[in-house]
Amino acid sequence: MTARATFTRMEDSTQADWALIMPEAMKMARALPDRVLAHLQLLDGDFGGFPIDRLSHCRQSATLAYRDGRDEEYVVCALLHDIGDTLGTYNHPDIAAAILKPFVSEANHWMVQHHGIFQGYNFFHHIGLDRHMRDQFQGHPHYAHTATFVERYDNPAFDAQAEILPLSFFEPMVRRVMAAPRQSVYKAALER
């Protein structure tokens, strides 16, 4: 049995408590790619009325980005952009963006966080919403970056006849991108 801290309030914790907690936190951090990949697989077989299931859509988005020569970080963002569908029915981009934030550039984080509104240009008018909702971000430094993502990799990724690389192809990329956070309040402690 692993030793555990004994405090009942965080403010009463000690350095000795954290000497027990931090190795466990590191194990948890190292296993993040495994948990993310397992959660992504929850999208397998979930069509939700779409032409292909949600996992295939994510894989096809990543395949398109990869074939277009995008870097690994961008490809991983394409792969994970809809991972939040299972937990955030009404805000899935926020879930994906929160998962990716410590590991990706500001531009890619913003792209994932706002892709839903940008994709809305292609269908919002069919469901009674304003397809021009993305225009509120006109002039933002990452507007074009996000519009390009949707146009080239999210919008066309519903084609059952198109190439879809297997998840195993992307797994090493996910592991490399999520190997160490670029930014996190805990970054220094995790690097020890």
Question: If you average pLDDT over every residue of the chain, what do you get?
Answer: 94
Range of the domain at 61: 56-176
Q: Quote the pLDDT of residue 192.
A: 57
- 167 in a structural domain: yes
Task: Give the domain CATH number at 68.
Answer: 1.10.3210.10
The rounded percent of the chain whose pLDDT value lies above 90 is 91
pTM of the predicted structure, to 2 decimals? 0.93
DSSP character at residue 129? S
Q: Is 48 left (phi over 0), alpha (psi -120 to 50) or beta?
A: left
- 81 in a structural domain: yes
- 36 in a structural domain: no
Per-residue confidence at 186, pLDDT binned at 50, 70, 90? low
Pair of tokens at residue 43: 């999208």
Each residue of 67-101: pLDDT tens digit? 999 999 999 999 999 999 999 989 999 999 999 99
- 68 in a structural domain: yes
- 49 in a structural domain: no
- 156 in a structural domain: yes
Average pLDDT over residues 165-184: 93
CA neighbours within 13 Å on the CB side: how many for 183? 8
Please check the confidence at residue 191 and state whether its pLDDT lies above 80.
no
- Count of the separate structural domains present in the chain: 1
- 30 in a structural domain: no
- 113 in a structural domain: yes
Average pLDDT over residues 147-164: 98
Each residue of 118-152: pLDDT tens digit? 999 999 999 999 999 999 999 999 999 999 999 99
Q: Quote the pLDDT of residue 85.
A: 95
